[in-house]
Amino acid sequence: MTPVTAFAATAPATALPLFHLYGDPPEDQAFDFVHVETISSRSTRHAWTIRAHRHRNLFQILLIASGGGDMSHEATTRAFAAPCAILVPATVAHGFRFRPGETEGFVVTFTEDVAQGLGERSGESLARLRALAADPVVPIADAAEAARIAALFRALNEEHVWAREGYRLALRAHVALIAIAVARLAAGRERAQAHGTARSAPSLASAAPVVEALRGLVEAHFRTERQLAFYADKLAMTVDRLNDHVKRATGVTAGHLIRQRVVTEAKRQLVFTTQPIHEIGFDLVFADPSHFTRFFRKQTGMTPQAFREQGGG
């Protein structure tokens, strides 16, 4: 993974852009939303470069059927090449630089309520997709599988374009099939990476709804609330029980999730904005710049200034 400066805004920025679809103002009330378009339909209007941005409540799955490029994923850059799928959860900072004229495929965008309805238990499927998306680029090595997934995207696009009777139900069904197919590939990759290690990846089954609820609370309060007791109280459980749920689902403590959300926001502002470092610290409610620097260095191994100078990583 390499620094992400190539995806930063060309003009000085004070905040990472928040969009509905890229270039469109955010829609906080979006619900039961499914949208699909070809990669070229939007990227050609932006010189094949989608600048770093985020979505408040939209999940995206991309199919790269031809070509490739680079993806900015939080403060790192990842290369990708066809055929592959790319998973982008809500709130994650991301951008793309596609190979001009040769990259094609689809982007399906859907609200998190649609994702929550993909599984047998509410919240479990969204948690699983989010966990798999920690490594967002999912190669599709088998040609037959690549063709099958491409056919699902084409069918989804056809339903979206023609809007025939029952199309909303058909859209949800095709999104479910696409999400399941990509999740299986990502899970297979996860199992292959874990093969031969001492223990497999943590299970998300029973703890997933609690973890998703915690993530939602952390997203809303991480700037001002860092104490685990606050979140445990909101979830009507003890601190020990909350930690047990999170540890079983993710392999880390609840406190670690809170700290990492603060670090993620700090990294975003350091890489994607020109905001002075002391102002970033104040924005994240640190008492003084030295406190912010100590916290950041403890979590990342480098100072905020060094992280900014190297363009992330």
Class of the CATH-defined domain 208-309 = mainly alpha
273: CB partners within 8 A, 6+ apart = 12, 13, 14, 15, 16
| Stretch(es) of the chain classified as CATH 1.10.10.60 | 208-309
DSSP state, 7? G
- pLDDT at 192 > cutoff 80: no
The amino acid at residue 150 is: A
Per residue in 58-110, pLDDT (tens digit) is 999 999 999 999 999 998 999 999 999 999 999 899 999 999 999 999 999 99
Name the residue among 89, 190, 189, 206 with its Cα closest to residue 140: 189
Class of the CATH-defined domain 5-194 = mainly beta
222: CB partners within 8 A, 6+ apart = 258, 261, 262, 265
Structure-block tokens of residue 91: 């709130």
| Stretch(es) of the chain classified as CATH 2.60.120.280 | 5-194
Whole-prediction pTM: 0.80
- Mean residue pLDDT across the chain: 87
